[in-house]
Amino acid sequence: MISTESIETILDKIRPSIQADGGDVELVNIREDNVIEVRLKGACNGCPMATLTLKAGIERIIKEEIPEVVEVISVR
């Protein structure tokens, strides 16, 4: 089981870079199928680069530290 604390610790490392561009990321849910649901906020909400930030940034970093993670998706 993936812990909320482990995901939050990783997000805390990523968050300063996202906040530097006026955005933020919030953990919404860790599903039983090991899919992580996050909410992109601030400048990230609706930004054309948000998908790249999510997949190439947030998802890649989380999967490097927690290989059990299947995917990171953005929810509203």
- Has residue 46 got a pLDDT over 90? no
Region of residue 20 (phi > 0: left; psi between -120 and 50: alpha; otherwise: beta): alpha
Q: How confident is the model at residue 18 (pLDDT cuts 50, 70, 90)?
A: very high
Residue 61: CB atoms within 10 A of its CB come to 15
Q: Residue 11 pLDDT > 90, yes or no?
A: yes
Q: What percentage of residues in the chain have a pLDDT greater than 70? A: 100
> Among candidates 32, 3, 25, 20, which has minimal Cα distance to 74?
25
Q: Which domains does the chain have, with CATH numbers?
A: 4-74 (3.30.300.130)
What pLDDT is recorded for position 47? 84
Residue 17 binned pLDDT confidence (cut-offs 50, 70, 90): very high
CA dist., res. 33 & res. 17, Å (int): 28
